[in-house]
Structure 1
Amino acid sequence: MWPLDSTGAADLLEPGPSQLPPDAAPPDASEEPAAAEVAGAPGPGRCWLCSSSPCGWCAEREAKKKGPCPGLGLFYTLLSAFLFSVGSLFVKKVQDVHAVEISAYRCVFQMLFVIPCLIYRKTGFIGPKGQRIFLILRGFLGSTAMILLYYAFQTTSLADATVITFSSPVFTSIFAWIFLKEKYSLWDALFTLFTIIGVTLIVRPPFLFGANTKSMEESYSGHLKGTFAAIGHAIFAALTLVILRKMGKSVDYFLSIWYYVILGLVECVILLFILGEWSLPSCGLDRLFLILIGLFGLGGQVFLTKAIQIEKAGPVAIMRTMDVVFAFIFQIIFFNDVPTWWTVGGALCVVASSTGAAIHKCQSSK
């Protein structure tokens, strides 16, 4: 998320002496309040318009003027889900470029955006001494999660991969319980069970759904690889979030992204040389898709961050599930692939568990 600097917020709410009119100050600091009122000036802390202390009308008017538009955070979340879904669609469309290479191009694109931000904020490129190990882990785990996500989009259906990635909040609760000693309640265990059921319905292992996998025997191997890649993404994304919680606000968000793109680019280059898959896209349309993947991914992150800043976590978590709806719609429209009822049932289980986990975590934190 891209935090806003709240330093000086109190100064904006309470005007200092320099903001008062020149003739507003009482003639003598030791003068009685009654004398000041006789002179036509309100007492200390009183409003210059209505002479009340505190001024309810002015405070209400200021709050209305500065408060966000109702529902704006949910609109930002919806827009973020749409942009992420469109980016996923482009990843699915680019079949001639390996998922690792797509990840490398996105790292380069984000690097060009993050470097000016770091220079402007004067945070440096290394980070605090005690947090560097966590920044390295964040970068490695986050980039690995990105590679696995793109591989899942390319090898299995768009809806299946998207749904499974929504199991990340459940893994986050487990890892936070293990590493951060956070409470793991019976509700969390129930959400985990729902996630396992949902993923099982999507994977449809032959020993449970033998009759339903015979017709897709040729493509089931790819479906299974994509499913495990999506589960791996959910696990690595959960570990990344736990590390971000561990660091807290001691590390600037842009510095965290910097480690993510630098280590991600190094990891992608090494993997591409090992796999021998490094090559420029042969089609101009694929090159356009690579640029759009970076643009839509960045736009989705920006709007999601703005939504979290002005809206509660519970409603944002619920609205985020629209990502699954968009994935189903795009899969039907652009790939003529109607999801099975098993996928729909699995999606309901996973989305319900992830949303419930997020809302429960929000309520328990209050």
Structure 2
Amino acid sequence: MNYSKLNSKTKGIIFIILSAFGFAMMSAFIKLSGDLPSFQKTFFRNIVSLLVAAFLITNHKSKFFGKRENQRKLILRSTFGTLGIILNYYAIDRLILSDANILNKLSPFFVIIFSFIFLKEKINKKQILAIITAFIGALFIIKPSFSSEMLPAIIGTFGGIFAAAAYTTVRSLSGKENPDTIVFYFSFFSSLVTLPLTIISYKPMALIQLLYLILAGVFASLGQFGITFAYKYAAAKDISIFDYTNIIFSAFISLVLFGVLPDYLSVIGYIIIFLSSLYMLIFNK
């Protein structure tokens, strides 16, 4: 396949599927690393991404911290991304892997909302219907009740909201900053913010736990660069459905590594959310 001859949308699809695989593997290694504070997991994950991004920037002779006029957006992207990761890791530790990831993958629907509010991209009745339907699907996964058991699912949903805010900002930076710079800035910012929190809540790790966190960082880098390039090449409304390949990867990993599968209510939720995305894709076409 000649990559240079692919159109922008096809490139976006390839990168978003690579991103989905990267984030599924990242989630698996985060879960395998065991009972460690979310801040600690976030810090070690981002240190690896930071080193990878620094290498690429040096190799491509790009800027480490971007242009002066883009600082506000870079800080917003980094803040939202950091909050999204911390909340997502909390959910991963306490939910079935595919449940945690599907809640995080509500982000494309929130991207549409945020793009309408902040980027002035048009939103129509059919997209609104798809968003409402996706939220109904999320309720099957969250399983609302008056107990603390639903707390991880709610936190996982907020992780998806913050991820959407981060991706909307990435979209607004498209063509203005190099993807290497965006990833480095985010990783540097997140490492800086989580370092003191990691020191305060630090738990000693076995060598295997450290190895799992390093591998989580490697696959997070694949996911991060994948999503950054994907939204560089194509609009979220055109390619976001392919991000749901993450759930297929996650369900397979959950079965192989942890011997668990989601319950039937969660599966119903997955189907509803996926069909909502499919409906939006067909409408966009």
TM-score range, shorter chain: 0.7 to 0.9
User: 1:71-123: CA deviations, max 9, x gaps?
Assistant: 99867655543333222111111222222111101111111122232234333
User: 1:196-216: CA deviations, max 9, x gaps?
Assistant: 111111111126xxxxxxxxx
More helix by share: 2
Verify the 8 A CA contact 1:148 1:233 in the aligned structure 2: yes
1:105 to 44, 47, 65: 44
Verify the 8 A CA contact 1:151 1:229 in the aligned structure 2: yes
Does residue 144 of the first structure (1) align with residue 68 of the second (2)?
no
CA distance in 1, matches of 2:163, 2:207: 32
Verify the 8 A CA contact 1:163 1:351 in the aligned structure 2: no
User: 1:99-152: CA deviations, max 9, x gaps?
Assistant: 211110111111112223223433333322221111111111112111111111
> Aligned runs of 1:54-93 on 2, under 5 Å?
67=5, 78=17, 80-93=19-32
Cα RMSD after superposing both structures: 3.1
The code of the aligned residue for 2:129 comes to L
Number of residue pairs matched?
Answer: 283
Q: Which segment is superposed worse, 257-266 or 321-330?
A: 321-330
What secondary structure, in the 3-state scheme, does the structure 2 residue paired with 1:321 have?
helix
The code of the aligned residue for 1:334 comes to L
Does residue 349 of the first structure (1) align with residue 275 of the second (2)?
no
Aligned to 1:170: 109
Verify the 8 A CA contact 2:137 2:272 in the aligned structure 1: yes
Return the TM-score normalized by structure 2: 0.85
What secondary structure, in the 3-state scheme, does the structure 2 residue paired with 1:182 have?
coil
Aligned to 2:184: 258
CA distance in 2, matches of 1:65, 1:173: 29
Does residue 241 of the first structure (1) align with residue 180 of the second (2)?
no
Verify the 8 A CA contact 1:166 1:351 in the aligned structure 2: no
The code of the aligned residue for 2:134 comes to T
Verify the 8 A CA contact 1:168 1:354 in the aligned structure 2: no
The code of the aligned residue for 1:347 comes to Y
Verify the 8 A CA contact 1:85 1:326 in the aligned structure 2: yes
Aligned to 1:286: 209
Verify the 8 A CA contact 2:90 2:155 in the aligned structure 1: yes
Q: CA deviation at 1:279?
A: 3.4
The code of the aligned residue for 2:94 comes to T
2:196 to 237, 249, 270: 270
1:296 to 198, 201, 219: 219
What secondary structure, in the 3-state scheme, does the structure 1 residue paired with 2:201 have?
coil
Distance 1:358 1:262, change over 3 A: farther
Q: Which segment is superposed worse, 284-293 or 299-308?
A: 299-308
The code of the aligned residue for 1:97 comes to L
Q: Which has the higher contact order (CA 8 A, sep 6+)?
A: 2
CA distance in 2, matches of 1:293, 1:148: 16
Q: CA deviation at 1:315?
A: 8.2
CA distance in 2, matches of 1:129, 1:303: 25
Q: CA deviation at 1:260?
A: 0.4
> Aligned runs of 1:30-49 on 2, under 5 Å?
none
Q: Which runs of 5+ in 1 are unaligned?
A: 1-62, 208-219
CA distance in 1, matches of 2:65, 2:13: 35
Distance 1:180 1:193, change over 3 A: same
What secondary structure, in the 3-state scheme, does the structure 2 residue paired with 1:249 have?
coil
What secondary structure, in the 3-state scheme, does the structure 2 residue paired with 1:95 have?
coil
Distance 1:82 1:180, change over 3 A: closer
The code of the aligned residue for 1:160 comes to D
Structure of greater Rg:
1
Return the TM-score normalized by structure 1: 0.68
The code of the aligned residue for 1:293 comes to A
